[in-house]
Chains A and B, each alone.
Chain A
Amino acid sequence: MRFLTFNALILLATISLSQGRLMDRAGVASFFSTTPIEDIEAFNRQALGALNTADGSVAVSLLMKGFRFEKALMEEHFNENYIESDRYPKATFVGRIENYDKELFLQEGSKDYVVNGDMTIHGVTKPMTVGIQVSNDGSIINVETKFIVTVADFEIQIPRLMRDNIAKQVTVSSSFSFTLPK
């Protein structure tokens, strides 16, 4: 696991050092869980995103302790009991845009793409395919995504008492804006 996290960092570093690298240090990631009992939503506004326009590789890294909840108690449970953020402080995604064509990608306008990669949450890595919406106005590339994460896939244990309060699948949304070099 440590090896994979390390790999993700190396990839981030390589992306950031190579040509065509774009970076956003203040990306937004949020997740939403809904059950008949309650809705839970949390936002993280310090997600680090890297996009290499030369080969279409992407990397995202964020800190679990950076998620803010409406209620302090939810945040406490999330960090201490479910996600164990002292042991697993980060979540990462490392992947590549499918059928990447640099020239097409850098044209202005809006397009949808598919990204294949590996997602690591709670120390567990799973292959994952997510759809992204890319809009390019010539100076900024905005990337947005929304996908479903199954809590049990990442070995996140929810105590029986809370099982009706937390959805088995949560919706994750994320957005990054990358400023194109002039």
Chain B
Amino acid sequence: MRLTPIKIITVIVVLAGGFIAYRMYNKAHVSIQGLAPDYEIKSTELVSEFTASEEAANEKYLGKILQVDGEIEEILGTDPTPTILVSGNEMNHVQAVFAKNMTFQPEVGKSILLKGRCSGYLMDVILIDCVIVNEDR
């Protein structure tokens, strides 16, 4: 078998294609640590927007990175990472679930500035992959 330029090019293209496909398949989750927020908002205002019109708020915030400012009202859990409720109204809050490496000790009553991705609204507005921007300023 002779190695014609066509054959060599074909092999290179197939290998490169395979490599790109492999890289895409194994693409890592992007941490939002270094990403700029799409919106900066007070937790109470975010909750009011969702309680006023879930549909309109979904349209605006779903999948977006929100930087939220509020007070820690309740700690729902710390395993594997903290999940906290941040001030909203009496019944609805912002539920923040922290990202993999965020293993801090949250304290009820402290104010917090965090960044997370909005996954929607159940009883609370839910932010996932959260990172702390600033704690108890």
Contacts and interface: CB of A to CB of B under 8 A. Distances in A.
Contacts of A26: 76-77, 83, 95
A145 interface: no
Interface string B7-37: 0000000000000000011111110000000
Nearest to B27: A72
Given A25-B95, A65-B62, A66-B128, A46 B122 contact: yes
Contacts of B91: 16
Contacts of A72: 27-30
Interface residues on A, range: 20 to 34
B76 A48 contact: no
Given A25-B76, A73-B27, A86-B63, A68 B128 contact: yes
Interface residues on B, range: 20 to 34
A121 to B, nearest CB: 15
A65 B123 contact: no
A62 interface: yes
B120 interface: yes
10 contacts: A16-B123, A46-B119, A48-B123, A65-B117, A66-B126, A66-B128, A68-B29, A72-B29, A89-B62, A90-B122
Interface of B: 24-30, 58, 62-63, 76-77, 83, 85, 91, 95, 97, 117, 119-124, 126, 128
Given A25-B95, A89-B58, 14 more contacts: A25-B122, A25-B124, A26-B76, A45-B83, A48-B123, A63-B121, A63-B122, A65-B63, A65-B120, A66-B120, A71-B26, A71-B27, A73-B26, A75-B29
